[in-house]
Homo-oligomer: A and B are copies of this chain.
Amino acid sequence: MPDTRELTMAEAIREALAEELSRDPTLFLMGEDIGRAGGVFNVTAGLQDEFGKDRVMDTPISEAGIAGLAVGAALTGMRPVVEIMFSDFLTLAMDQIVNQAAKLHYMTGGQARVPLVIRTGMGAGRGAAAQHSQSLQAWMAHIPGLKVVMPATPYDAKGLLKSAIRDDNPVIFLEDKMSYSLKGPVPGEDYTIPLGVADVKRTGRDVTLVATSSMVQVALSAAEVLAGEGVSAEVVDPRTLKPLDKEAILESVKKTGRAIVIDEGYLSYGVTAEIAAIIADEAFDYLDAPVKRIGGADVPVPMAPALEAATIPNRRQVVETARGLFGR
């Protein structure tokens, strides 16, 4: 009896964590305020009560140390899932993530394994200003040895997080903070979504919108507007930046001949650049218009609400960019 309920993204993530904690005794969670308090976004609420303090550990405010301990635990038979509260704080743990976790398997000629998940909250929208609003996925995707996951729906979040946890590599799992309350159907049973498989969130013929994380909702709502104007937009969600399912993206663009890539990270040298460059190269002969990119504004995220909102790609931008591709 596939019992599918409507869950929020936060609930879907919590369910994945709870199910995996039950399934795998080597799994444990660690992070700041994730235990008794249940995390600042309530994602881990109740898990410490259910699984105890050894499985769901509150830590000191020591991002580098936490990530470092997780690497050591992962090397020696455990499977840590670390929460770094805001992705901006990844900056404090970069050596551990990039120089240690990502490279140990390779540097030891395949001896070491680092089955580690780092969950972190990304994105702007909460008036939390420049040090609490970044979307640093481009950095993470740049590093060989890391996998990078960006779920857009509760369903994807649960299935992808389970795959991330069962993966033998370090996986960065980026959760959009504004999407924690997004609702969607989630099966109660165990399921996984493989890393590296894109999902066509809406099919269309005229233009491909490649969108990540919360930008998928933006793309979907733009597609709705465009449909009203007679433009049929296909929305492709890569779901993971690394591995990147470039075949799915290219297949869509080869069909539509037009593409817009949307990601909330800073535009310059960001995720949209990689995807756009791949499309422009490998679908060159199919393109009827240049590949367009919409990213977060190239500014530190400001606090004032109207300014902050202006940093995040929105429906209007997508619609207008799409119109531009059709010379309207």
Contact = CB atoms under 8 A, between A and B. Distances in A.
Interface string A141-155: 111110000000000
Nearest to A132: B99
Contacts of A276: 273, 277, 280-281
Interface stretch (A27-35, A100-108, A166-174, A213-221): A100-108
B99 A299 contact: no
Interface string A273-301: 11011001110100101111100001110
Contact of A131 (B99, B268, B298): B99
Interface stretch (A15-23, A88-96, A178-186, A189-197): A88-96
Contacts of A91: 94-95, 98-99
Number of chain A interface residues as a range: 35 or more
B269 A300 contact: no
A73 interface: no
A293 B277 contact: yes
Given A91-B95, A99-B88, A300 B139 contact: no
A321 B265 CA distance: 31
B266 A143 contact: yes
A198 interface: no
B142 A129 contact: no
A268 B99 contact: no
A107 to B, nearest CB: 5
A266 B142 contact: yes
Contacts of A139: 139, 142
A107 B88 contact: no
Interface in A289-318: 289-293, 298-300, 302
A275 to B, nearest CB: 8
A91 to B, nearest CB: 4
Contacts of A142: 138-139, 265-266, 268-270
A88 to B, nearest CB: 6
A99 B133 CA distance: 11
Nearest to A105: B300
A127 B241 CA distance: 30
A268 B270 CA distance: 11
Nearest to A242: B268
Interface in A195-244: 241-242, 244
A292 B299 contact: no
List 5 tightest A-B contacts by C-beta distance, closest first: A280-B280, A284-B290, A91-B94, A273-B273, A103-B300
Given A138-B138, A242-B268, A276-B277, 6 more contacts: A89-B95, A99-B130, A106-B302, A142-B269, A273-B277, A280-B290
17 contacts: A91-B95, A92-B95, A103-B130, A107-B129, A138-B142, A138-B269, A143-B266, A144-B266, A144-B299, A144-B300, A269-B271, A273-B274, A273-B276, A276-B277, A276-B280, A277-B293, A280-B280
